[in-house]
Structure 1
């Protein structure tokens, strides 16, 4: 399939309390329905999705750099609650109200934290990283991943030191070696390669600490009260995606009141790009009526 990856049409930073910066990039009309993007692991604001559909759908897509990645200031020791507080402040500064949100891959638990905190009005989790430290997955993880999860739970500081040694090239190699053919057909297209490589480079521009903190949080016990989520949540997984959730989000969906789980036939982890219009149009059904 042909993939349409576009550069942002607007880019900038917001100053949060204490002077920290939060980097953002936007696609679509400035007066469109605000949809925040919490990107996947070690990717910056520059890797968006749905560039060919946002104008037609009337979506103002805003991708955010998490602290310590890209253009966002570090926030050592941050938590999912801290991230939700940052997004609440960002939305207030930009006049976004309670925006819709998309959480992709490792960005999913951060987005779920925002939903649990009441910061966003609805959420789409796309190829979302699951809470693999949960006891129900103890026997479902391969040995090396199990070891890293145990370390993230028992000694988060030691785990952060391990993950801080990652680089943009190491992340690229891991994704390319561990993806099914249906995903590689997307990831190896020249336009995607250029955008993804740029996003990886920017994410590691400040070093590996931002990625390391993200990964320790995502791999450990989340501490997010998923049962408190009171906004609509759709979960999207490709049928061939086994890398983000051992059961493709089945158990995760059961923990979120009213969540709807979608399994996309013949798709892998690249659903965010292969089915962007479907994800966004479904999310827009939950937008407030103006």
Structure 2
């Protein structure tokens, strides 16, 4: 069920709820680019687990208004506003890919409300000490981030062009990701249901513009606005060892930085395996802290 929530500054946020209405509340933060309609466990799985899953379009994506020059930290206030509107005092948060740093922001900045947090195939901060940020990263992602570091205008020009191509052929974009990712990502892609959800996700994310995508990439190349070391909620950092979109050393860095982190590295896994393991992560997020 979709609805519009108004943020404190008047922006519209498009929100979707699935699963058991009176179940354990878990926010799922989508990837980059992505939307509230991104891949998630099927409704019957959520209901059986007792999960009330909340997703939303980050600013600039789908039906949510843009928030120019936003940081990773800024998303925590949007999550709090949505939780207030839905009557949720405490909740868990899971983020996949580009959503993972934003999930960590919620745990860092909403410590009285976030019970547990899971970061699946996350990037580390661009200034992470001792980390070679680009090592092991696919050439397309390296180029995208280097363009962003050259300036917002260049990032907007490049990503707007890509967004237009995706609007014409979202399935083609999904296929290009899979082919660059390798064997494990191709195995995940063979699931028709997940493939359909990925295509729908890209189409919805970029239906109007590339603004959300641009702002995500710029945020990842800027200071996050918080230090992961301040997170004290139980934290799961999950990664596939063969990920070329967010290399596994990013997860290991986060695991060393976050005091209560449990790091799980899947041998032979890659970026899209985060879609397959999400149903098994949800019960962990529901545990009493």
- TM interval, shorter chain, is 0.7 to 0.9
CA root-mean-square deviation: 2.3
- Structure 1 residue 270 displacement after superposition: 2.4
Corresponding residue number in structure 1 for 2:56: 64
Structure 1 residue 137 corresponds to structure 2 residue 132? yes
How far residue 129 of structure 1 moved from its aligned partner, in angstroms, is 2.6
Unaligned stretches of 5+ residues in structure 1: 1-9
CA-CA distance at 1:139 after TM superposition: 6.4
Q: Deviations over 1:139-189 (max 9, x none)?
A: 625666555444534534543443333222474354122122222222243
Task: Name the counterpart of 1:7.
Answer: none
Q: Which moved more, 1:132-141 or 1:27-36?
A: 132-141
Aligned to 1:81: 73
Match runs of 1:10-49 below 5 Å: 10-49=1-40
Q: Is the Cα–Cα contact under 8 Å of residues 72 and 220 in structure 2 kept in the other structure?
A: no
What CA distance in whole angstroms lies between the structure 2 residues aligned with 1:162 and 1:27?
A: 34
Count of residues in Structure 1 that have an aligned counterpart in Structure 2: 278
Residues 18 and 55 of structure 1: CA distance in aligned 2, closer, same or farther (over 3 Å): same
Alpha-carbon spacing, 1:177–1:204, altered in 2? closer, same or farther (3 Å) = same
- Shift of the 286–157 alpha-carbon distance from structure 1 to 2, 3 Å rule, reads farther
**Equivalent residue for 1:155, pick from 146, 151, 157:** 151
Q: Is the 8 A contact 2:107 2:114 kept in 1?
A: yes
Which deviates more from structure 2 when the two are superposed, residues 28-37 or residues 168-177? Answer: 168-177
Equivalents in 1 of 2:134, 2:268: separation in Å? 26
Q: 1:201 aligns with which of 200, 203, 209?
A: 203
Matched with 1:97 is 89
**Counterpart mapping for 1:258-277 below 5 A:** 258-277=260-279
Q: Once the 2 structures are TM-superposed, how far is the Cα of residue 37 of structure 1 from its aligned partner?
A: 0.7
Partners of 2:185 and 2:143 lie apart in 1 by: 26
Deviating above 6 A after TM superposition, structure 1's stretches of 4 or more consecutive aligned residues are none
Query: 1:133: Cα distance to partner?
Result: 4.7
Residue 45 of structure 1 and its aligned partner are, at CA, apart by: 0.9
